[in-house]
Structure 1
Amino acid sequence: MPLASLVRREERQAEAAPAPGNRPMSTDVAMNLQRSAGNQAVSRLVSSGPSGRAHPVQRASPAELDHTAGQAVPPKKTKDHEIDDAGDVRLNPLWVPLGEFSGRDLDNSPEGAKWQYAVTEDGEISLGSEDVASLIPRAQLDRLLAGMRTKQPGMTADDLSGGLENMGHPTIAAHFDQVTGRTTHNPKGRVSGELYRIGGVWTLNDKSGRFMAEKVRGKPQPEDLERWLSGVAQRIGRQTRRRINYQIMKHS
């Protein structure tokens, strides 16, 4: 899973690092995981350019992207805990671009796992989760918690999950500044929703209260939703080599 190596590193650091003083340990975990994911994104920007690709590619025009994945709109809202001290959107702890996602990531996801996806303003697909606990095996979370408790004995499982959970679609559709690599405030997103198993088959939908709300997107026509969702399902299916279904839920 994209987060597994980061969690293992946090386990080691929790046992070796000094206590963090007055700041909740769960906040430290969240910040470190987000910083690690952010550093990976910056490395891609530095080595491969803003697109994160090794070679330039011909991009679709904004009009073409509007047709295939919906207009790029700002989120209905970005919650306070999704904004860092500099006013930029935080990066989802499980953030991963589709190009680095694989069928193994889906296969290794526990029963009940829920991913979120977002098509970004430039037409790329990113994935993450606002329910991190559903994607990390219980035993791994327990090991991480045990390591944290060596420095903060009173820490609970709720404290740990509280620093990692509820990072929604704006943190997945994050846009990176081409010079600094930092995420920018209020990123725009196109069609977005959830990805989870239904009857053993991975299925995506259009449930995003941030980018699919009527307040920001209006009322899409059924044929538009079909085109947007089927296109995302095909792209994720090609990348993962897994069957991906889709269903219209928010606008059904």
Structure 2
Amino acid sequence: MSHANAYPYQEVFERYLNRQELAQPTIAEYRSVLADLFNFLSNFNAGYQADHRVATLLDRDVEQYLAMLVNQRQVTNGTYNKMLSHINIYFKYLFTHDLITHYPTLTLKGKSHDDLKTPTTKWLHLMPAILANQQLAIYTRLTMLLTSHYYTISEFLTPGFYQQLHPRNFNPDERTFWQDYQQFITPLQARQHSQDLFLKQRLDGDPHLTAAGLHKYLKPDEKLLGFALTPTRLYQSAILDYLLQHPKLSDQQLSDKLRLDPQSLNYYRQLAMQYQG
């Protein structure tokens, strides 16, 4: 790849870096990181492969590359954060100069190396014991049950979610827990005048438990279980586990089971390949 087209908008971006009076070795470092990012997207990201338009990139596309850095290259925390910083400055430049209409790295933050490892799928195979463990908060166990059925936190905390849940599809261990849960939630539903599944214990206006409120139940249980209970990471590990366990299913079968659009399915397929590697 020539210097002139190592990555999109290279010439205007590097002119900007020169105006910022960055040292040439630093500019070369930006070039190396951005060329590597777009080379990865060209080879492993179906959405970018389709038209090579920078304007179509989303945060999860950049996250796919960052996950590869950790899981395959095992970069250090310092290297990871420096690379993310370079990528962030690049996209910020494109956004502020109207070359793209949204800012795909806006929500991405530097994290510790341990936090960036692919989440363990072991918990999914411990679900019978987890559901039966009365030391764990009942909302913790419900969160893990719903996540194991490929529901996201934004889905199951949304009012009315109970209408799309089908407990008849639960296995025997899950049905046993569901009966216990009904004993807990039914009086609370009557008190809060709501049929939803995650409700506050106190009467104070909106009865629905927020993500922050749920976290207060999950955080103490992390010590009991010995791993992080971040709902988004649990969800990711549930998706990865299913893909790894069912390598021969078609895209349509996987999309139907996991309720994923084709772009999201491809993203998780790539993560699953990295996890296997």
Q: TM over 0.5, yes or no?
A: no
| Bin for the TM-score computed over the shorter chain | under 0.3
Between Structure 1 and Structure 2, the one with more strand by share is 1
With a CA cutoff of 8 Å and minimum separation of 6, indicate the structure with the bigger relative contact order.
1
Larger radius of gyration: 2
Name the TM-score, length of structure 1 as normaliser: 0.21
